[in-house]
Amino acid sequence: MGSPETATSLPVILLHRPPELDSSPIIPRLKDFYRVIDPHEESDSDPSAQTLFRSVRLLLCLARPPVTSDVLDRYPSLELVIATSAGIDHIDLAECRRRGIKVTGNAGVFSDDVADYAVGLLIDVLRRVSEADRFLRAGLWPVKGEFPLGSRVGGKRVGIVGLGSIGMRVSKRLEAFGCVVAYKSRKINPNVSYPYYADILELASWSDILILSCSSTKETYHIVDKGVMKALGKKGIIINIGRGALIDEEELVRMLSSGEIGGAGLDVFENEPEVPKQLFEMENVVLSPHRAVLTPESFAELQKVIMHNLEAFFSNKPLMGELDIE
């Protein structure tokens, strides 16, 4: 990208972050090539800062702070929002579309890692890996004898809710295990031969396992409710690597407790970082603190995408991962 310029001549980018995220490894790198403006560090009474806010053209969104119409009102010259998280439900895409603001995502850098994690959770629940680990560490093998059997992965019918970049990678991995895949998405994917279910109740009735990898929207809020869980059945398993709000969490806890559903592997929750305490006591549940997307490798790839899109924007070149919000 060439040598750094003087601070006053550098292209300006606006940093949009939650207050608690006060550092990121990418920020020092950004400051070599851009003037980074952070509203959390600027005085609201400074006229020069307000002028700069009104003229800034690019917003870099670190983590998941909301990008609402009120936020966009403060920066009327915005032309591009660069999102860096796995999901984009924190961004008002309709408002961006109305204002003619482009939005870029992560260009799929997290997809392989999330797909690996989904399969890992599934294997863990079926084969009872974490449960067996606890059993052994507690010294129960000599006392109680043989540990209960887990269930085979191969041959299971897996319903995937959301056959996007992540869902497709999950399906390919599970095919290699000998699983049978069907799916529900916003629309039929003409490039796959998996059975498509428009009704999630029908998909759940068919499935042994339901994997959630769709976006969190008004339409998908509590898409897995009591009815879906009952359709999945007493041996059914839910894996959620999407968003916590996809599941009626209170109902999930109740049905797991009563044995109306077989088990769950959960990386996300409705009120993070709070997790229902009842889940901690359940041996048929594997829990993870929202870490499916994060590996050093995916973070390094994300930084490359960010730097590419910054340079591309200021040199009027094609962007990576631009979202179709028309």
Give the dihedral sign, CA 317/320/325/326: positive
Give the three-state DSSP class for 58.
strand
Q: Which of 41, 175, 272, 297 is catalytic?
A: 272
Backbone angles phi and psi of 223, in degrees to 5: -60, -30
Spell out a b/e string for 85-99, using b for 16 or more CB atoms within 10 Å of the CB, else e: bbbbbbbbbebbeee
Beta strands (DSSP E) in 28-90 are 35-37, 58-61, 80-83
Known catalytic residue at 272: yes
295, 298, 300, 303 alpha-carbon torsion, rounded to 10°: -130
How much of the chain is helix, strand and coil, in % rounded to 5? 40, 15, 45
Known catalytic residue at 322: no
Known catalytic residue at 290: yes
Q: Which of 17, 131, 243, 301 is catalytic?
A: 243
Q: Which of 127, 173, 290, 308 is catalytic?
A: 290
For the annotated catalytic residues, the residue numbers are: 243, 272, 290
